[in-house]
Chain A
């Protein structure tokens, strides 16, 4: 059973009669790491939010974990990480990570145990009593990831989480993320506008074209895991980056269809 199954998905925004997404068909299998990449305005963030039932589709179906998206959201089947870490200033780091667990009604002992586990997973043990603004951007993002994984969801949705960070922190967090993904055995849908990042992280890269957002191509990434610094220097990596890049350019050229 696919973790995410999208059929004939279309999304219009009434205001400008803008077609954000057109006839999207996508199936994501358990354990995959799927990146959504495309130029600004191609609807990748919108698609992510539709999967998370934060935006309703105009037509088509979205099934998450075999259930309709709203049920999946109500059942806490996924965790989400935004580009802005969206941590609560008035809570300590530990309490931030514990937030979803509180909402799920876990008791204090269980919460503490899981929070400690998560903090270790993202390598921030010892920072539990700090406040978000005392941490660097990269550290805040790790806290956000810890929070998203706190209740061990099957699916992790990430919307350009490393977009606001510098290149080196980004590359480090890329490897961290792969390690965490491997350890947690979750499925990841990852929105990015960095080709290098998409190729480095994913099992498949979904290339999207700008308005109306369509899937231009899906590039399978056959680089072996575990990936590391050396992966970025392999010839196959560069081939795949080029392949994705060409798919992107091709995708933009397709945008000659007039919008009604």
Chain B
């Protein structure tokens, strides 16, 4: 998964009181699905006699996780750092570039098609090269690929947000004799925030993918991706799957963290509901 995320106009949120009810009861169906899925998985392995290789039973995976939890979590943390580093670098550069491009509209309009096209490139193919540039055992190589993956979606979406202001709002600001900078600060940036956060949420997932794919082509033994692949090759499938689970957990936590930030930053404004 890569590229331009869904630069979609925000969907209005309901009244504040609705939000409180969202918590408890809304998660019930999801919880039910989870339980059913786990049960189905556990039982069907036995019933259909599926080989260990494909999918060990959840119970086996859980116990493998428990036995090796410190190693797995440390590896997960290592990989997460690579992802986080790439995320921070890629997103900040993207936002700065977008601010610059929105400021100089002529150049921006001319270059946008190329940015969008660049977004369509499978950057993941680039991962082996970053390993060659920086030592594969160094976090930097993975941060580089994660950063490049994060850059384009955040860039395209931020520009879109900055330039999708209603003309009437600009006219209103002009009636206040507002300068370009004022308009930027008071209108364009707040309008862009929902778009930016949509992109940031996707970037969290992309950065983890980038880190792990990078590790496939060579990485430190402390890294989660390397751990998963090496356990797979030594037929320790329970542990490999436990590693996959840890990768998921870090990815989800990262995503939720940014989603939480979004809730805080967009308090009260119509948000991008998922």
Listed in ascending order, the chain A residues whose CB lies under 8 Å from chain B are 52, 54, 73-76, 78-80, 82, 84, 86, 88-92, 99-100, 102-103, 131, 133-134
Taking a contact as CB atoms under 8 Å apart, the answer to whether B268 and A92 are in contact is yes
Given contacts A90-B190, A90-B269, A131-B268, contact A100 B168 (CB under 8 A): no
Taking a contact as CB atoms under 8 Å apart, the answer to whether A90 and B182 are in contact is no
Taking a contact as CB atoms under 8 Å apart, the answer to whether B269 and A131 are in contact is yes
Taking CB as reference atom, which chain B residue is nearest A49? B171
Taking CB as reference atom, which chain A residue is nearest B267? A90
Taking a contact as CB atoms under 8 Å apart, the answer to whether A103 and B269 are in contact is no
**Residue B248, interface by CB 8 Å:** no
**Which residues of B lie under 8 Å from residue A84 when comparing CB positions?**
168
Q: How far is the CA of A27 from the CA of B160 in the complex (A)?
A: 44
**Residue from A73, A86, A133, A134 within 8 A of B172 (CB atoms):** A86
Taking CB as reference atom, which chain B residue is nearest A133? B12
Taking a contact as CB atoms under 8 Å apart, the answer to whether A99 and B177 are in contact is no
Q: How far is the CA of A84 from the CA of B171 in the complex (A)?
A: 12
**Which residues of B lie under 8 Å from residue A78 when comparing CB positions?**
175
Taking CB as reference atom, which chain B residue is nearest A84? B168
Taking a contact as CB atoms under 8 Å apart, the answer to whether A134 and B190 are in contact is no
Listed in ascending order, the chain B residues whose CB lies under 8 Å from chain A are 12, 15, 166, 168-169, 171-172, 174-178, 182, 186-187, 190-191, 193, 266, 268-270
**Residue from B168, B174, B186, B269 within 8 A of A89 (CB atoms):** B269
**Which residues of B lie under 8 Å from residue A92 when comparing CB positions?**
268
**Which residues of A lie under 8 Å from residue B266 when comparing CB positions?**
90
Taking a contact as CB atoms under 8 Å apart, the answer to whether B268 and A100 are in contact is no
Taking a contact as CB atoms under 8 Å apart, the answer to whether A80 and B178 are in contact is no
CB distance from A82 to the nearest CB of B (A): 6
Q: How far is the CA of A91 from the CA of B169 in the complex (A)?
A: 13
**Which residues of A lie under 8 Å from residue B166 when comparing CB positions?**
86
Taking a contact as CB atoms under 8 Å apart, the answer to whether B172 and A103 are in contact is no
Given contacts A89-B269, A89-B270, A90-B190, contact A73 B177 (CB under 8 A): yes
Taking a contact as CB atoms under 8 Å apart, the answer to whether B182 and A103 are in contact is yes
**Which residues of A lie under 8 Å from residue B191 when comparing CB positions?**
90
Q: How far is the CA of A6 from the CA of B79 in the complex (A)?
A: 70
